[in-house]
Structure 1
Amino acid sequence: MKLTANNTRQAAFSLYRAYLRQIRILPHNYLRQFFFVKSREDVEAVLLTKAGGDLSLRKLKRAQQTLRKLEAANVGDKKAFEKVLELAYGRKGKLKWELMQPLLSDPNAPLPPRIIPQVERSRPPVYSPELTALLTSQPSRTTKPLIPKQLANPPELPARADPNSREAQLLGPFSKRREVNIRWRFFTTQSKRVLPPLQVNVGDETLYGTGSKEAVARIGIRGFGLQGSDALEDVLKIAGTPYRSPVLPRRQRRLLGDHVKASSPSDPSSFDAGKLPARWLRRRYQELLSRIPILTYSPPFSTGTVNTSGNPRKGKYEVSLARSVVVTEAWGSAARLPDADDADLVWLEASNRLDKGREAAEDAMAKARRRLKEERMAQEQAEYQ
């Protein structure tokens, strides 16, 4: 059926109503908010385009594809739910480039010199500290990570680009325009192979640091992306831990009461499993975390310390993955072992004391055996004489 002005508007409004019905079923408040905004943008894009044209038809079909993904995700389709999470958390689509955009420049870095003196646009790209950490770390890369020297000299740049090289002396200087193009092409290509983080965390405060805007402003670094929205923290809570939590005894559960439920790491207030199994959802979020690198800024000095040396020091950015990421090791491996609680620490201290007492008893028995052996040898020697 050919789209006209009337049936285009009718199809767009029908699409919007179907969108809203599926959004209400989504299991997480952030997902509902994200796709509510996306549904409005998709419908407005259709309505603001010339009705009945090819562009309007393409936009309508694209929005219908997203709607079908939501419908499949809400009935438990694994691939569809993964696509929904990738869209909502910037692993693909428009949000991915919005998360990456602040990292492609460094407002505090000075402008690099021009490669072609007369051309302003011939300045080489600037790698921000955040982007440098992402490019040189495996968790944030879809391909092999780079080494730091490749950022200054891309592998595609021939040795002839160095005017002091033997190749330049034999073959003549390398084209400056080609050097500019190679450097920018390398920068653009490698930036597209980065999985953007949702925020920057400040280390040395919790397991993954804190991503609040106050902590970032206090330390003097810039925030970006979903900073301060608790989006990453909610994903970590829903994903839980990769190990099986031990079941508390009945008496201990009665003593703790509601505190056990309130402190559960996999039940945030904005999470409602609905018709989908909670364990199935937890696995999907754990798989999502394998594609969300955690960017942590480690300050040069801890709180309360003073730099006594004359050399100024800078903090560094590190990239890691959450512990909630799905791991393939055996159940007895270190990756699946839970953190030690108070009961485990008491048991460990008692075990250490028992080991020390056993070692002391064994040492005393060994000394007694050596003393008896020496006395026997001395007695035999005296009888022989």
Structure 2
Amino acid sequence: MNHGRQAIASVYRSYIREIGRLPHVYLRRVFRLKAEDDCRAVLLTKCDDRRTGKLKRVSKARLLLSIRAANNGSHQAFNRILDLAYGRVGRLRWELMEPLLSDPNAPLPPPIIPGKESSRPPVYSQELTTLLTSGLSRRKRPLVPGDLSFPPILPQRADPNSSDAQILGPFSKRREVNARWKYFGQEWKKVLPPLQISVSSSREVGDEGSDLGTSTAVRKIGFDGTTVLEELIQLTKPRNISGVFLPRRWLRRRYQELLGRLPILTFTSACEDMKTKKSGGFSVSLAPNALKARNQVRPLPCATDDDIAWNQSIWQAGRAVVRGRDHQEEIHCETRSPTSNYIE
């Protein structure tokens, strides 16, 4: 037993040694708590075989190796520990997303199968709808509002007014329920959760109007009431990072990349003016110093009929210019004498 305690203490000291080299107070606090929980779980295990197995997993854990590699300047390892600490991956990500997967104020939708309570379709909260339809909070391309009401994985036969339903018959209600919940589960997992929900009033100073939405209607999630987000934004500014073991510019770049994976969900309260009427709602944005990932760039809009007509006119004009140039070259070649090449 004493040998086991010494081994656990040795692993814990290895954790503390590497955690103490991290450049940010928040990172040191988070991973110190993680190390304490892991080592305490090993100590509380009474079975010797299970304790030995847990100790082996903790001593060779990927987390310890990632922290050591991050302190040595590994780009991928440092991004990994930042994602763990700020809920981009891991258990914290689920804790940030869980409140957004339901809306207690929304009415329950009617069941797809009459009399079957378990056949109710999923409810997309306003916060989740905003995150799903924004390219700044998605790992993949953003969804359109129509995808939420009629998922793309459903066949056209699921629409009772479609021609397929009239020819082939109605689609199975049970399969429709399963498809809707499957689409709901696979799409919310592609969302990057926000750390908190910010509140912004749409009424400017000097405007006359009344706010229809208040901050009391906004749910408090994650790090609401803390300064974690503000501290992270400050770390992306010059001369605000005290990196002892790593270059400051390198650290600032890592935090800017993290802000690109950290959407800011803002609730704008409704406002009515004498001239304009603005309705409140949620919006997604990024911090000013954030570095956007390639998949977060907004895609180009689809070409309209005017765009296609303009493109065809440009293409035809270019073809006419090329044909005229070729015709002039042919005339020039015909006017030259056969012996001109030898004379030259």
* TM-score, normalised by the number of residues in structure 1: 0.67
Specify which of 8, 11, 24 is matched with residue 28 of structure 1.
24
Matches within 5 A, 1:90-239: 90-204=87-201, 218-239=215-236
- Match of residue 276 from structure 1: 246
- In the alignment, which of 11, 14, 20 is matched to residue 10 of structure 2? 14
Instruction: State the secondary structure of the residue aligned to 1:325.
Output: coil
Change (3 A) 1:202 1:218: closer
Whole-angstrom CA distance in 2 between matches of 1:297 and 1:325: 20
Hey, what's the Cα distance between the residues in 2 that align with 1:132 and 1:327?
Answer: 21
Aligned length: 282
Give how far 1:296 is off: 1.2
Tell me which amino acid in the other structure corresponds to 2:96: L
- The aligned counterpart of 1:287 is 257
Residue type of the alignment partner of 1:149: G
Name the amino acid aligned to 1:325.
A
**Is the 8 Å Cα contact of residues 8 and 51 (structure 1) preserved in structure 2?**
no
Q: Tell whether 2:46 aligns with 1:76.
A: no
Identity of aligned residues (%): 51
Q: Find the aligned partners of 1:281 and 1:7 in 2 and give their Cα distance.
A: 40
CA distance in 1, matches of 2:2, 2:171: 60
Q: Structure 2: how far apart are the matches of 1:192 and 1:202?
A: 25
**Alignment RMSD, CA only?**
2.7
CA gap 1:126/1:175 in 2 versus in 1, 3 angstroms = same
Change (3 A) 1:228 1:56: farther
How far the C-alpha of 1:27 sits from its partner, in A, is 1.4
Equivalent residue letter for 1:37 = L
Would the alpha carbon gap of residues 220 and 125 (structure 1) be closer, same or farther in structure 2, given more than 3 Å must change? same
Distance 2:11 2:65 in 1: 11
The answer to whether the Cα contact below 8 Å between 1:136 and 1:148 also exists between their aligned partners in 2 is yes
- Over 3 Å counting, the alpha-carbon distance change for 1:118 and 1:8 in structure 2 is farther
Match of 2:57 among 56, 61, 64: 61
Determine the structure 1 residue equivalent to 2:86: 89
Q: Which whole-Å CA distance do the structure 2 matches of 1:67 and 1:145 have between them?
A: 35
For residue 283 of structure 2, the aligned residue among 306, 318, 329 is 318
- Give, in angstroms, the shift of residue 200 of structure 1: 1.1
2:305 is matched with which residue? none
- The CA deviation string for residues 11-48 of structure 1, in whole angstroms up to 9 with x for no partner, is 33322222122222221111111112111222233344
Is the 2:261–2:292 Cα contact (8 Å) retained in structure 1? no
Aligned pair in 2 of structure 1 residues 116, 327: CA closer, same or farther (>3 Å)? closer
Q: Look up the SS of the partner of 1:203 in the other structure.
A: strand
Distance 1:53 1:180 in 2: 45
State TM-score, norm by structure 2: 0.74
CA contact (8 A) 1:50 1:56 kept: no
Query: Secondary structure of 2:282's match?
Result: strand
State the distance in 2 between where 1:186 and 1:60 align. 39
The offset of 1:119, in angstroms, is 2.1
Query: 1:160·1:168 contact (CA, 8 Å) conserved in 2?
Result: yes
Unpaired runs of 5+ residues, structure 2, are 203-212, 294-344
> Structure 1 residues 323 and 52 mapped into 2: Cα distance closer, same or farther (>3 Å)?
same
Map 1:336-351 to 2 at 5 A: none
Query: Does the 8 Å CA contact 2:43/2:51 hold for their aligned counterparts?
Result: no
Contact 1:46–1:60 (8 Å) recurs in 2: no
What is the rounded CA distance, in whole Å, between the counterparts of 1:148 and 1:56 in structure 2?
Answer: 52
Residue matched to 1:349: none
Cα distance, 1:192 vs structure 2: 0.5
8 Å contact from structure 2 (residues 87, 96) kept in 1: yes
Using a 3 Å threshold, how does the CA distance of structure 1 residues 7 and 306 change in structure 2: closer, same or farther? farther
| Alpha-carbon distance between aligned partners in 1 of 2:58 and 2:149, rounded to the nearest angstrom | 40
One-letter amino acid of the structure 2 residue matched with residue 137 of structure 1: S
**Partner-residue secondary structure (3-state), 2:251:** helix
**Which ranges of structure 1 fall in alignment gaps of 5 or more residues?**
206-215, 241-264, 329-385
Counterparts of 2:52 and 2:289, CA distance in 1: 42
Question: How many Å separate the matches in 1 of 2:74 and 2:183?
Answer: 38
Cα deviation, 1:181-225, whole Å, max 9, x if unaligned, reads 0000000000110111111111259xxxxxxxxxx9745211211
